[in-house]
Amino acid sequence: MTDLRRFIPRADEILASPAVEVARRYMAEHIIRTRINKVLAQARAGDIAPQAVMDEVAAVLADATPYSLHRVLNATGVIIHTNIGRAPLPPEAIDALVAAAGYTDVELDLASGLRSKNRGRAVIEALLAACPGAEDALVVNNGAAALLLATAALAPEREVIISRGELIEIGAGFRLPELIESTSVRLKEIGATNRTHLADYEDAISDKTGAILKVHPSNFRIEGFTAAVGIDPLRQLADAHGISLIVDLGSGLLQPDKSVPEEPDLQAQLAAGADIVIASGDKLLGGPQAGIILGTKEAIAKVKKHPLARAVRIDKLRLNALEASINAPSNAVQDALHLDSDTHLERTRAVAAAVGGDVIEHPGRVGGGGAPEYPLPGFAVALDESLAAALRAGTPAVLPRVHQGQCLVDVRCIPASEDETLIAAIRAAQESLAE
C-alpha cells in the first residue's frame, strides 16, 4: 500500500511558493518556517491531505500578522476595561503614536542640533495647562511606578503613614504596601479598616516619619460605619511636623465631572495642599498607560532627581500619545461617559431590530478602578447566551457581557461609525451557530 505521505510537498517547494514570497514582505523568515512546519506536521499525521498542503499554507500565511493582539469591539458597557487595554486612544493620540514611531526630536534641539534636556517637557506643559493647580509634573511608565518613585523620593529610608482602609490590592495580585516597601521606605499602618481619625495620624508621627500617604480606594467602596480624614487637616498636620503629603488618586480625573460625582479630581487635591498627586494616564484621562505625578516644584524636583526616575522612564511613543490625549477636544472615555441617553437608546434599538434581539435597561460602568459601584444608566441588546463565544471568536472580536443567561450587547463603548460592523458580527455569529 502506498504511503500518501510521499506526496506531501517538500519544504523547499513550499518556501518557493507565491504565498510565501508575499508573506516575506511583512513577516520574518523564522516565523514563516514555523507556520509551514506546523502544516507539514499536520499532513504527516494524516490531518491534512497532501494535495491540500499548499492551499493550507497559503491560508495560514494569509491570516498571519507579525503581532498577536486582536481588535476587540467593547460591548460590555464597561468603559475602562483592563482586560482589553483600558482606555482606547483618541484619533489624535493614534496619529501621535505614528509620528513618534520613527526618529523624533525627543531629546534633540533642532535649532542648535544639540542634545536637549527637555525630554517630555511638552506633555508636562499640557498637564499643567489642564491642571493649573500643579506647579510641575513628571510622567513615568505607569501608576504603580509613580507611587513607588514618589514615596522613595519624598521619604527615603523613612516611614510613610497610611490608613489600614487604604492598603489596596491592584491588578494581578499586586499590593500597594508590598510595592512601596520594595524600596527603602517602610509603611506605618494606622486606624482600622473602616475608621481612621486625625488623631491616628498624629499619634503615629515620629522622628522616623517622612510622609503621609492618602490613597483613594478607587476600585472598591466601604460603606456604613466609616470615617476618613480629608486632605485639608492632613496638610495642616504635615506642615506642623515638616513632612510630605502624597495623594494617590489612580483614576486620573483632572477636573470635577458630574457624571462621576463621587470621584475626586487631581485639581481639588492639589488645591487642598497635597505635595504630590498621582494618577494613571489610561483611565479617566483617556490616554495611554502612564504614571502622572503632579505637585509642587520642590516635591517634583526631588522626584526627578531620584535614581528610580530613570528606571521607570516613559518611552517616546506614550509621551507623544499622552500629550495628544490631553490636548484633544475629546476622547473615547469622555464620549462613552457622557453618551446621550436618547442616542444610546436609538442605537440600541437599531441594532436589536437588525439582529432580532430585545432592548433592556443596562447600567454601564466606568471600570478600571474608577467610580466603583457607580452605575451609568443605559441600554443593551439582549441575545441568546450561546452567541457570546461565537462573538468573541469573530473578526472583529466582539466582547459582550454574559449575565443571567443572556448575551448582552451594549453600544456605549462602540463608536456609532462601527454599528454596521457590530451588526454584521452578530449576524455572522448567529449564522455560525445555525450551521
Q: Are residues 157 and 58 in the same domain?
A: no
Answer yes or no: is pLDDT of 171 > 70.
Answer: no
Does residue 140 form part of some domain? yes
Q: Are residues 355 and 289 in the same domain?
A: no
CB atoms under 10 Å from CB of 33, counted, come to 14
Does residue 67 form part of some domain? no
| Count: domains in the chain | 3
Name the residue range of residue 30's domain. Answer: 9-62
Q: Rounded CA gap, 385 and 74, in Å?
A: 17
Asked if residues 367 and 81 have their Cβ atoms less than 8 Å apart, the reply is yes
Asked if residues 101 and 262 have their Cβ atoms less than 8 Å apart, the reply is no
Instruction: Please give the model's pTM, rounded to 2 decimal places.
Output: 0.91
Does residue 430 form part of some domain? yes
Q: How confident is the model at residue 258 (pLDDT cuts 50, 70, 90)?
A: confident
Q: Are residues 125 and 253 in the same domain?
A: yes
Q: How confident is the model at residue 251 (pLDDT cuts 50, 70, 90)?
A: confident
344: exposed, middle or buried (Cβ count in 10 Å: 0-12, 13-18, 19+): buried
Q: Rounded CA gap, 119 and 55, in Å?
A: 51
Q: What is the pLDDT of residue 96?
A: 97
Pick the range with the lowest mean pLDDT from 4-8, 207-211, 327-331: 4-8
User: Which residue among 262, 297, 329 closes a domain?
Assistant: 329
User: Which CATH number covers residue 359?
Assistant: 3.90.1150.110
Span 399-426, mean pLDDT? 97
User: Which CATH number covers residue 100?
Assistant: 3.40.640.10
Span 190-210, mean pLDDT? 95
Q: How far, CA to CA in Å, does 73 sit from each of 43, 67, 231, 396, 397?
A: 36, 18, 40, 7, 6
**How many CA atoms does the CB half-sphere of 323 hold within 13 Å?**
21
CA nearest to 251, candidates 274, 221, 281: 281
Tens-digit pLDDT profile for residues 80-113 = 999 999 989 999 999 999 999 999 999 999 999 9
Q: Rounded CA gap, 173 and 327, in Å?
A: 34
Q: How confident is the model at residue 168 (pLDDT cuts 50, 70, 90)?
A: confident
Q: How far, CA to CA in Å, does 138 sit from each of 169, 189, 294?
A: 24, 28, 7
Does residue 1 form part of some domain? no
User: Which residue among 309, 329, 349 closes a domain?
Assistant: 329
CA nearest to 397, candidates 405, 389, 408: 389
Q: Are residues 161 and 103 in the same domain?
A: yes
Does residue 283 form part of some domain? yes
User: Which residue among 312, 329, 346 closes a domain?
Assistant: 329
Q: Rounded CA gap, 2 and 228, in Å?
A: 81
342: exposed, middle or buried (Cβ count in 10 Å: 0-12, 13-18, 19+): exposed
Tens-digit pLDDT profile for residues 316-365 = 999 999 999 999 999 999 999 999 999 999 999 999 999 999 999 999 99
Is the Cα torsion angle 70, 73, 79, 81 positive or negative in sign? negative
Cell 502506498 found at: 2
Q: Which residues in 84-121 are b (16+ Cβ under 10 Å) and which e?
A: bebbbbbebbeebbeebeeeeebeeeeeeeeeeeebbe
Q: What is the pLDDT of residue 371?
A: 66
